[in-house]
Amino acid sequence: MHHPIINAHHNTLTFEKYIREELMDESLYTPSLKNHIPNVIPTFFCTINEFQVSCIIDTGSQASFISENLLKQISKDPLNRVETLPVSNMAILGILGTRSKPIRRQALIDFRYSNFQFPFRCLVIPHSSVPTILGVDFCHYYHVSLDFEAQVIKIPYENEVVQIPFLPGNKPLIKTVSSHITYIKEDTYKPDLHILNSPIETIPTDNQEMDQVLKNLQPSFDKEAPNSYESFSNLLKKHQIIFSDKPGLLKGSQARLNLKPTFTTVNRSYPIPYGKRQRVFEEIERMIGDGLIEPSNSPYTNPLVCVAKNDGNIRLCLDGRHLSKHIIPDMESPPDINTLLQKFIGITYMTSLDLTQSYLQIPLHKDDRPYVAFRVHGRNLQWTRLPFGLNVSGSIFIKNLNAILGPELYPFVTTYVDDILITSHTFEEHLEHLDIVLSKLKEHGATIRLSKSHFLKERIKFLGHIITKEGISMDPTKIAIIKDFQAPSNIKELQSFLGLINFYRKFNLRHSELTGQLNHLLRKNQPWLWTQTEEAIFNNIKDLFIDSVVLKHPDFTLPFIINTDASNIAISAILQQLDTQNHLQVIQFASRTLKPHELPYSITGRELLAITYSCEKFREYIFGHHQTIIKTDHKALSFLQSCHLTHGRILRWMLALQDYNLKIEYEKGSENVPADVLSRNTSQEYRRTVNQHTLVSYHSV
């Protein structure tokens, strides 16, 4: 078997096939050599419509083919017409370099063996006497293996393995099942194929895109060790097959939909806007050709949603709201974002990988496909892969991705649904980590979109945050959205604004105090009244996020310092540590408004509530840590740990605090500025006071 070779002149990936003419020329071989040529080839009979056709498994050919003559024969019946799509920029070269007519079409062929179906896309070859050639794209998709010792073809199919015996090499290439079908006329056979500039994404990312990625990264290698660029370049090329804009097929993975007995039929669909109609039809044909969807006889129909992407293309998603109500949820869930953001202390190199159409890399069990059927322009279709739009899609994907990567990669791999981040302390370590991850993904059949992956970054966007070795900051694009957010004119718009800033509340000490002053507008039966007071609060909130600080990575070898404070309406806390210059560095802010039953608490009660709240919010940092210092400006709290006469509620709080290694220190209000600004009324005064005290070392975004 030949291996892929690179044509340096044309920069195209070509694949050599077996040279059948030479094998058939007996004058080239001695009698002893002839005895070693196998008398069987990996060929089997399958049924296409009413034809029984000979199929050759050829692992030396990257693409699969069907002859044009055979396609005409099997398409004579209008009821069984084979779907075809146009292709361009493709040619076939013979062994002597002669070029055939261009390939113009591809066809979706439903190969059947016994009771098993293997639908696949084949290129249509003019003037070929060989009915079908199934190349490595077919073998990869169906995980085909060839056992030359037993002379069988093995194809996994659901919970069993189909074993198909080889046919002898001198068997006829096609015979009829119906008496009305005639033999195909033989033409000149040219089996030695080179695919030139194929637009069909059956091959990995082309060298041009890979070279551009390496070219863009080259300046960053100037400071690295000698040969670092070459080492990284060789690593990417080693795993080149994994980079593709076509979704892979995860081996050993299969999605099941566990439906409740209450499931009922859905029979509705949304009309496709005229402006998107042609693109939707083209996307449907592409997805059929890629095996992502298939024709369906399902009695169920779900609405289809067309989502516009930033690059101008569209994504087809299932509107699975009705179906999701009847699916028993999978309890697998992504980890807490704040927990993930604690992993990056001392990190220098980061790489993010974008899995190509992530969910669509997981096959959907055959029995569950009818439930995800949909109708487009009168055609009934169904997904063969896990679609976007179901309540369990994320959980199923998380479970399968975690099974592939395994817990042993957790120290340097961070995943959140389909986001994969690889982090390392040194360049050499990063190459090793990247090689491990790419090897695992490649082994399981995954594909990665090269154009949306980012390599060897010292600053990277992850889960709406900017991560650097210095710390974590807000994504500037999100700051711009907050800055440009118009004053809300109704409850829904206010809820949208509060939802946006709530995600970033850890960057804002006064979050709860200020947003709490807008909560009265959210009450039921409360008339909407937006005055200058609400406008001022709204603008103060935006100003605080615009001037947000960089949150530093925690150092678990150093003590933590927590500043707390309580006002008449809210409590707040700051988790900090001292750096090598003895400057306090913020790790996280926390705050919330007081609940109605907490408003009557005494000053001491509210201060102790703030301490208890801060320990709960920062538990992942301080639980089991050797020392945490609580700084408060209420002197009475400093002796509470030794006081035996306490209220039952305060006693419960004190017992809860015994889980931590706490040291409560009194600090005058004038010195406890970061937390005490909670009681201040203007963002200008807040920023001025903060800049004069302990936040002088913080860097704004």
Of 7-16, 373-382, 663-672, minimum mean pLDDT range:
7-16
Beta strands in 95-185 (DSSP E): 105-113, 116-125, 132-134, 145-147, 152-157, 160-165, 167-168, 174-176
What is the architecture, at CATH level 2, of domain 274-469? 2-Layer Sandwich (3.30)
What percentage of the chain carries pLDDT values higher than 70?
78
230: Cβ contacts below 8 Å, ≥ 6 apart: none
Mean pLDDT value across the chain: 77
- The CA–CA distances, whole Å, from 689 to 121, 550, 672, 680 equal 68, 18, 11, 10
**Chain centroid, CA 701 distance in Å:** 27
**pTM for the complete prediction?**
0.59
Q: Coil, strand, or helix at residue 331? A: coil
CB 167 within 8 A of CB 44: yes
Of 25-34, 77-86, 277-286, 689-698, minimum mean pLDDT range:
689-698
Domains 274-469 and 472-701 in one fold: no
Question: For the segment 503-515, what is each residue's pLDDT rounded down to a tens digit?
Answer: 888 887 777 878 8
pLDDT at residue 83 in the model: 77
Question: For the segment 440-450, what is each residue's pLDDT rounded down to a tens digit?
Answer: 999 999 999 98
Has residue 549 got a pLDDT over 70?
Answer: yes
pLDDT at residue 633 in the model: 66
Residue 71: phi and psi, rounded to 5, are -60, -40
DSSP state of 566: E
Strands 628-632 and 662-666 turn out to be parallel
| Kind and range of the H or E run holding 574 | strand 570-578
What percentage of the chain carries pLDDT values higher than 90?
19
Has residue 461 got a pLDDT over 90?
Answer: no
Q: What is the mean pLDDT of residues 128-137?
A: 85
More confident residue, 260 or 1: 260
Question: For the segment 305-341, what is each residue's pLDDT rounded down to a tens digit?
Answer: 887 776 677 888 888 888 888 999 888 887 777 778 7
Taking the CA atoms of 277, 360, 90 and 67 in sequence, report the sign of the dihedral they define: negative
Has residue 291 got a pLDDT over 60?
Answer: yes
Has residue 47 got a pLDDT over 60?
Answer: yes
Question: For the segment 391-442, what is each residue's pLDDT rounded down to a tens digit?
Answer: 899 899 999 999 999 899 999 999 888 889 999 999 999 999 999 999 999 9
- The CA–CA distances, whole Å, from 341 to 280, 621, 649 equal 39, 11, 34
Residue with tokens 């290129």: 123
Residue with tokens 């398409």: 75
Angle in degrees, CA 388, 390, 392, rounded to 5: 110
Q: Which alpha helices (H) appear in 87-143, and where do they start and end? A: 136-142
CB 653 within 8 A of CB 606: no
Structure confidence at residue 207 as a pLDDT band (50, 70, 90): low
- The CA–CA distances, whole Å, from 541 to 503, 682, 683, 698 equal 14, 10, 8, 19
- Where do the domains of the chain lie? 5-176, 274-469, 472-701
State which fold the 5-176 domain adopts.
Answer: Cathepsin D, subunit A; domain 1 (2.40.70)
Residue with tokens 């992502």: 292
pLDDT at residue 320 in the model: 85
Has residue 235 got a pLDDT over 70?
Answer: yes
The CATH code of the domain at 472-701 is 3.30.420.10
Q: How far apart are CA 38 and CA 280, in angstroms?
A: 49
Question: For the segment 557-600, what is each residue's pLDDT rounded down to a tens digit?
Answer: 889 999 888 888 888 888 999 887 888 888 888 888 898 899 88
